[in-house]
Structure 1
C-alpha cells in the first residue's frame, strides 16, 4: 500500500499558500510534489493539498493508499464525512468523490513531527509562488 503524506501551508491568513505531497511507494521509490497556490487560509491550503494528492494518485492509477495528515480538520472531515464550517463543504464533496475511485483508502492523523517532509514541500511552494 502506498503512503501519501499531505500538508498545506499559508504565509498569512489569507496569504500566499502552498501544498506539499510526498508519495512513498514502499519499494524505495518516493515522489515529492510542491504546488504553489493562490492567497488563501491555511485550512483551504490543507484541503487543496488533499485534492492535489488525490488527483496525483488517481492519475498514477494508485488504487490503495493510506493518506497521512497533521491536520485534525482534514482527518475529521474525511472520517466523519462532515464539515462544521460550510465554507469547506465543496472541498469535502470533491474529496469524497475522488476517494470513491480507490479500492482501499485510509486517512490517518499524524503529529507534525511525522509530516515534516510534506510541510517542507508546502513551504517550498509558497516560496515558488512569491517569485
Structure 2
C-alpha cells in the first residue's frame, strides 16, 4: 500500500501558499513542494489533496492511503459534503479522482505526524513568493 501524506499551508489567509506531498511505500520515497499562489489555507489543503491524487494516478498507484492533518478535508471526503461553496468544486473533483483507485483510504492524523508534508508545504510557500516553479 502507498501512504500519501499531504499538507497545505499559507503565509497569511489568504497569502502565498504551497502544497506538500510525501509519498512512501513499496520502496518509494517521493517528495513534492508545489507553489499554489495566493489562496487561503483551507484552499491550499484541498489543492494539496488534488495534486496528490493526480500524482498517484499518473504513477498508476491502485491502493492508496491518504493522511492529512486537515480536519476540514478529512471530514469533507468522509461525508462527501462541504458547507462552504468555495470548496465544493474541489471536493467533487477529488471524489471523482478517488474513484480511479482500487482501494482508497483517507485518515486524519495529528500535525506532529505530518512533519514531512508540512515542511514541503512551507518550502512551496517560499517558491510561491519568489515565483519559482
TM-score, normalised with respect to structure 2: 0.96
Give the gaps of 5 or more residues in structure 1: none
Is the 1:3–1:26 contact (alpha carbons within 8 Å) kept by the matching residues of 2?
no
Which runs of structure 1 show a deviation greater than 4 angstroms over 4 or more consecutive aligned residues?
none
Please give the alpha-carbon distance, in whole angstroms, between the structure 2 residues aligned to 1:109 and 1:24.
Answer: 17
* Deviation string, structure 1 residues 86-129 (Cα, Å, up to 9, x no partner): 11100000000100100000000000000010000000000011
Rounded to whole Å, the distance in 2 between the matches of 1:48 and 1:87 is: 12
Q: Which residue of 2 aligns with 1:102?
A: 101
1:124 corresponds to: 123
Take 2:47 and 2:86, find their aligned partners in 1: how far apart are those partners? Answer: 13
* Mapped pair 1:42 → 2:36: no
Matching of residue 17 in structure 1 with residue 17 in structure 2:
yes
Equivalent position of 2:83 in the other structure = 84
Counting matched residue pairs gives 130
* 2:60 counterpart residue number: 61
| RMSD, aligned CA | 0.7
TM score, norm. by length of structure 1: 0.97
Structure-2 separation of matches of 1:23 and 1:55: 12
| TM superposition shift of 1:61 | 0.2
Query: How far does residue 26 in structure 1 lie from its aligned partner after superposition?
Result: 4.2
